[in-house]
Chains A and B, each alone.
Chain A
Amino acid sequence: MDAFYNLAQGFVTAATPANLLMCLLGVLLGQIIGVLPGIGPSAAIALLLPLTFGSSPTGAIIMFAGLYYGAQYGGTLTSVLINVPGESTSVMTAIDGHEMAKQGRAGVALGIAAIGSFIAGTLGTLGLMLLAPLLAFAALAFGPPEYFALVALGLTALAAVGGSVLKGLATGVAGLIIGSIGIDPQVGVPRFTFDQMWLFDGVDFIILAVALFGLGEVLATTGMPAVKPILNIGRVLPNRQEWRQARLAILRGTGVGFFIGILPAAGATIASFVGYIIEKKVAKDPSRFGKGAIEGVAGPESANNAASAGAMVPMFSLGVPGSNTTAVMLGALIMFGLRPGPEMFTTNSSLVWAVIASMYIGNLILLLMNLPLASLFARMLQIPYSWIYPPILAICLTGAIANANSVEDAWVMLGFGVLGWLMKRYDWPAAPMVLGLVLGPLFENTLRQSLTLSHGSGMIFLSRPISAGLLAAAVLAIAVPAITALILRQRQISLPGT
């Protein structure tokens, strides 16, 4: 019952006018960012960080969380109306959602997505509320070897999510390398600063996140052709038959999405894929899928929203993010002087519970906002990208300078922006690099502490059951996709012409 008492306290904090405003602002910005191309929730949170300096961390994290799940709603609009997913989590929604729009049922697709997202987001938050404290309690027994193994799992799992495990691992290790610039956290001497004073503090995670997710994304998207949206929204509430078809899909999507979301780095994208596949498997007539089946929208949309709540479980309870955006949120928490992990539930209990409570409020705001305002948000899709990206660039530039009142940081952002553009161009994932930078000091400290404890023996990681289990999971996270890719390639070789 502690969880419900704490939740009630959380509602008291979340319901203050200032925090309600932050929640509203977060979900509204998230909705807009989900609709606009060239900027995702990760970049948006990184850009908003300078604006939150000096404000209450609770309000800021409430806004960031709102932005995160609000963007999931926004991404649906572009999937349904122009067949271009605003976020990778909405890729599966586009398949049947856009077909529904072409049949004049865009409103119903958006309506069921909003209703499904609300149910999934609310139930997912309930799961977060019940599971995260339990996990945090278990993690209180963690020592340096367990933390090292946990960070290793977070990095490898996030690296393995993208198209290429090798590229994901390379960018993750490059992030760890960038994270080692500056003062050695254990002995206090400068390293890898190359006699440059401005490198003594290391590379700021905001600069890297803005450069990779903001500038890099803009550069990669500048040549994007305009797509004409379907603006005939029609009715948004599903009729009785449509509701009957969608309701179980929503519940299945919620369950599968939440549990995939809590796996470190598995994330909402995979959840939406699995949500769609399950719906197609259980359907009496799978041939309807791809031709405007409402379950093809309800399942993946519920799954990706439940996964957003699920991804907060490892972030709050273990300090390991479950998605790209929670990786940036983790950096934000560290910037506010908080240490995400098991202690969060004891040392910053009011913040955690206020954020959880705000997620119930935010999901309700999104439902109320999306049903009547779907056509208004749809009109935003008519704004040409040529009017959108220059202000995004100006915000990136201002955010970089404002972070430390330094023009040098703008040059650093430009340099990493070029890297981000090349990475985006060749499909190298950026999130592992940011996570490597954020978790680098913890990774190195716990490795060095563990080796000191064991008198230099690496067996300490294998002789302790939790760290051994986590490292085994890290190895599996790399091995499973690599072996799967190898098998698929072998099949292609043995079946020429297929």
Chain B
Amino acid sequence: MHIRFGQGEVILALLFAALGILWIATAFGMPFWQGFAPQSGFVPFWYGVILVGLSAAIVVNLVRQTEAAAEPPIGKPLIVLAALAGGILGLDLAGFGPSVFLLLLFLFAVVERLPVARSAAVAAATTAVLLLIFKAWLRIPLPTGPLGI
């Protein structure tokens, strides 16, 4: 079967619907109404119902569309996302400074294929500025690793 509507957008709408269903199901386990007053589950339950209804209407609209818009490629954003996830994982292992430096170097030199020396210099300068502002000036305890930064 040839599907003409944007599958990615349908998946997004279904994600929103799933969120609504989760809220309806969870709200059922909460007090709903007592005396004259609505309780904890009342408003979230209706949020869930409205979100499911809106998501269903969006899906119907998408399915009825005769043509799907061309979707931009997802390769590069996924690589950037994976690099960012790696950078977050590295925060606890290597500390803020090395993780951010390596994340920036990877994005500049590997993903964007920019000159390595200049990439390293910009990555180091950006990391240093962030450390100066957040750690030295604002005294925010950013994660530290074996190097102490």
Binding site for B on A (CB under 8 A): 50-51, 53-54, 164, 166-167, 169-170, 173-174, 176-177, 180, 184, 186-187, 189, 191-192, 215, 218-220, 222-223, 386-387, 389-391, 393-395, 397-398, 401-402, 405, 407, 410-411, 414, 417-419, 421-423, 425-426, 428, 444, 447-448, 451-452, 455-456
Q: Inside 8 A of A395's CB, which chain B residues have their CB? A: 130
Quick one: given A387-B108, A398-B130, A448-B42, are A425 and B138 in contact (CB under 8 Å)? no
> In the complex the two chains form, is B39's CB within 8 Å of A187's CB?
yes
B78-106: which have CB < 8 Å to A?
Answer: 80-81, 84-85, 87-88, 91-92, 96, 100, 103-104
Are B54 and A173 in contact, with the CB atoms below 8 A? yes
B48, B88, B96, B138: the one contacting A50 at CB < 8 Å is B138
Q: Are A426 and B84 also in contact (CB < 8 A) when A394-B127, A448-B43 are?
A: no
| Minimum Cβ distance to chain A for residue B115 (Å) | 11
* B interface residues with partner A (beta carbon < 8 Å): 6, 8-9, 12-13, 15-16, 19-20, 23, 26, 30, 33, 36-44, 47-48, 50-51, 54-55, 57-58, 61, 71-73, 76-77, 80-81, 84-85, 87-88, 91-92, 96, 100, 103-104, 107-108, 112, 114, 122-123, 126-127, 130, 133-134, 138, 140-143
**Bound Cα distance from A405 to B92, whole angstroms:** 12
17 A-B residue pairs with CB within 8 Å: A51-B138, A169-B50, A173-B47, A173-B51, A191-B44, A192-B23, A391-B122, A394-B126, A397-B87, A397-B100, A398-B100, A402-B134, A423-B12, A448-B37, A448-B38, A448-B43, A452-B36
Contact of B12 among A53, A386, A428, A444 (CB under 8 A): A428
Q: Given A166-B57, A174-B16, do A191 and B88 touch, yes or no (CB 8 Å)?
A: no
Q: Which of B50, B73, B88, B123: most chain A CB closer than 10 A? A: B88
Q: What is the predominant secondary structure among interface residues of chain B facing chain A?
A: helix
For the complex, give the distance between the alpha carbons of A434 and B43 in Å. Answer: 18
| Smallest beta-carbon distance B143→chain A, Å | 6
Given the contacts A398-B134, A451-B37, A414 and B100 also touching, CB distance less than 8 Å: no
A393 touches B61 (CB 8 A): no
Q: Which residues of B lie under 8 Å from residue A180 when comparing CB positions?
A: 23, 43-44, 47
With A191-B40, A192-B23, A222-B76 in contact, is A397–B126 under 8 Å at CB? no
Best-buried of A426, A428, A452 by chain B (most CB within 10 Å): A426
| A422 close to B100 (CB less than 8 A) | no
B58 touches A166 (CB 8 A): yes
Assess the A407–B36 pair: CB atoms within 8 A.
no
Report A-chain residues with C-beta under 8 Å of the C-beta of B55: 170
**B26 cross-chain contacts in A, Cβ below 8 A:** 191-192
Shortest CB–CB separation between residue B31 and chain A, in angstroms? 8
**Contact partner of B88 among A174, A407, A451, CB < 8 A?**
A407
Task: Name A166's contact: one of B20, B37, B61, B87 (CB within 8 Å).
Answer: B61
Select which of B8, B112, B114, B142 is within 8 A of A401 by beta carbon: B142
Query: How far, in angstroms, from A213 to B30 measured CA to CA in the complex?
Result: 33
Partner of A414, one of B38, B50, B84, B130: B84
Cα-based distance from A264 to B93 in the complex (angstroms): 47
A426–B12 touching, CB < 8 Å: yes
**Given the complex, which residues of B lie within 8 Å of A169, measured CB to CB?**
50, 54
Our pick among A167, A189, A411, A421 for the contact of B77 (Cβ within 8 Å) is: A421
- A386 to B44, Cβ gap below 8 A? no
Partner of A177, one of B23, B100, B112, B140: B23
Cα(A422)–Cα(B77), bound, Å: 11
Interchain CA distance A395-B103 in the complex, whole Å: 12
Instruction: Kindly provide the distance from the CB of B19 to the nearest chain A CB, expressed in whole angstroms.
Output: 6
Given A174-B16, A223-B76, 8 other A-B contacts at CB below 8 A?
A50-B140, A164-B58, A167-B58, A170-B51, A218-B80, A220-B77, A223-B72, A394-B126
- Asked whether B77 lies within 8 Å of A223 as measured between CB atoms, the reply is yes
A177 near B20 with CB under 8 A, answer yes
Cα–Cα distance between A26 and B72 once the two chains are bound (Å): 34
Checking A164, A174, A394, A421 against B104 with a beta-carbon cut-off of 8 angstroms, the contacting residue is: A394
Bound Cα distance A146, B116 (Å): 60
Contact present for B108 and A418 (CB under 8 Å)? no
Is A53 touching B138 in the complex (CB atoms < 8 A)?
Answer: yes
A410 with B88: CB separation less than 8 A = yes
Q: Which residues of B contact A386 (CB under 8 A)?
A: 108, 112, 114
**In contact, B54 and A170 (Cβ under 8 angstroms):** yes
Give the distance to chain A from B136, nearest Cβ to Cβ, in Å.
13
A222, A387, A419, A428: the one within 8 Å of B114 (CB): A387
State in angstroms the CA–CA spacing of A417 and B114 once bound together: 25
